[in-house]
Copies of this chain bind each other. A is one copy, B any other.
């Protein structure tokens, strides 16, 4: 997510944003929106350092210089270590005044998925939990099911729309029959929906939302090649559901899944885990990032384990936000 704003005399005269890979970058969109040459006092503000190399689009630095901007304000630098600072350097060499690092943390956070992708070349695996203060993901028996309130739930839907993929275990699929779509004022959208199902236990379960709804072509069941049966494979194919059969004995199942995701260009996966799987992801260091929605409630189901059993796993980057009376703690896991 990159945005650009052009101001003249302190007044915003044009805006642009980068809509999708291969589309023009935010700076170019803002210049197009302006539709004329910028005034001499115009300032271009952009959340991410302008690119200076030919990717899928021509370098933005050239467009900025051709347009004649004398001042550029930059939020975050290029996350690619090979490019970081080069776009700013090219602008300065050409005599443009560049102000760096304005709202740097916020601008960097806008691209946390892409930044991880560029530096790690793997999907960002983000664990999402919604918990009571005492670490339970489920209420006591007889209590209403949802831990968090409507504002936090709406925020989850925003993240589901941002992430290219979402994942649940087969246990969650079979117990809860989730939809895993992003539902907002624009309607319903589906990221890629992974079902982590080593033994393909979900094969033949025809009644499930993920296997029947309008987005079932974006459901991918991930299991072990050693466990897949021809009949199951045929059933999934007939239902229009993709299957990833991963090699290996299962010891590195999650790693093999992430590698395959990387090969398919999936930059991030939001993992909606139950308490045991959440603890595994933390303990084994599989999760890169955490979204913890905490509700102002004690007294989760005492039969259920906490989501953080069995290890010390510091958070590094930190952003805390309020949604109604729930707090979201998110950041990189150390």
Nearest-Cβ distance from residue A145 to partner chain B, whole angstroms: 15
> Are B298 and A315 neighbours in the complex by a CB distance under 8 Å?
yes
Q: Counting chain B CB atoms within 10 Å of each CB, which of A140, A320, A324 scores highest? A: A320
Known contacts A298-B312, A314-B299, A315-B297; decide if A320 and B329 are in contact (CB<8 Å).
Answer: no
**In the complex with contacts A134-B135, A294-B294, A322-B322, A299-B312 CB distance below 8 A:** yes
Residues 155-172 of A contacting B (Cβ, < 8 Å): none
CA distance A327 to B312 in the complex (A): 21
- Distance in angstroms from A299 CB to nearest chain B CB is 4
Q: Is A296 an interface residue, CB under 8 A from the partner?
A: yes
Q: Which of A274-290 touch B at CB < 8 Å?
A: 282, 290
Instruction: Digitize A294-322: 1 where CB-to-B-CB distance is under 8 Å, 0 elsewhere.
Output: 10111110100010100111110011111
Q: Nearest residue in B to A324 (C-beta to C-beta)?
A: B320
Does residue A331 face the partner (Cβ distance < 8 Å to B)? Answer: yes
Collect the chain B residues with CB atoms within 8 Å of residue A330's CB.
296
Instruction: Determine whether A292 belongs to the interface, using a CB cutoff of 8 Å to chain B.
Output: yes
Contacts of A314 in B (CB 8 A): 297-299
What class of interface size applies to chain A in its complex with B?
A: 35 or more
Knowing A133-B292, A308-B298, the reply to whether A320 touches B325 (Cβ < 8 A) is: yes
Q: CA A319 – CA B312 in complex, angstroms?
A: 29
* Residues of B with C-beta under 8 A to A302: 311-312
In this complex, what residue of B is CB-closest to A330? B296
Determine the residue in chain B with the shortest Cβ distance to A308: B134
Work out how many copies of this chain go into the complex: 2
Q: Give the distance to chain B from A230, nearest Cβ to Cβ, in Å.
A: 44
**Cβ distance A284 to chain B, nearest Cβ, rounded Å:** 14
Q: Tell whether A49 is near chain B: CB-to-CB under 8 Å.
A: no
Evaluate contact between B312 and A296: CB separation under 8 angstroms: no
Q: Judge whether A326 is part of the interface by a CB distance below 8 angstroms.
A: yes
Which residues on B sit within 8 Å (CB–CB) of A298?
282, 290, 308, 312-315, 333
Q: In the docked arrangement, what's the CA distance between A12 and B27, Å?
A: 47
Nearest-neighbour CB distance to chain B for A312, whole angstroms, equals: 4
Q: Is the CB of B325 within 8 A of A133?
A: no
Task: Give complex CA distance A320, B148 in Å.
Answer: 13
Q: How far does the Cβ of A319 sit from chain B's closest Cβ, in whole Å?
A: 7
Beta-carbon contacts under 8 Å, A70-104 to B? none
Q: How far is the CA of A71 from the CA of B320 in the complex (A)?
A: 42
Q: Which 9 A-B pairs have the closest CB atoms?
A: A299-B312, A327-B327, A296-B329, A296-B318, A134-B308, A320-B325, A299-B314, A318-B325, A298-B313
Known pairs A135-B135, A296-B329, A298-B308 / 8 extra A-B pairs, C-beta < 8 Å: A133-B329, A134-B306, A299-B312, A299-B313, A318-B325, A319-B325, A320-B325, A322-B327
A residues in contact (CB < 8 Å) with B: 133-135, 140, 282, 290, 292, 294, 296-300, 302, 306, 308, 311-315, 318-322, 324-327, 329-331, 333-334
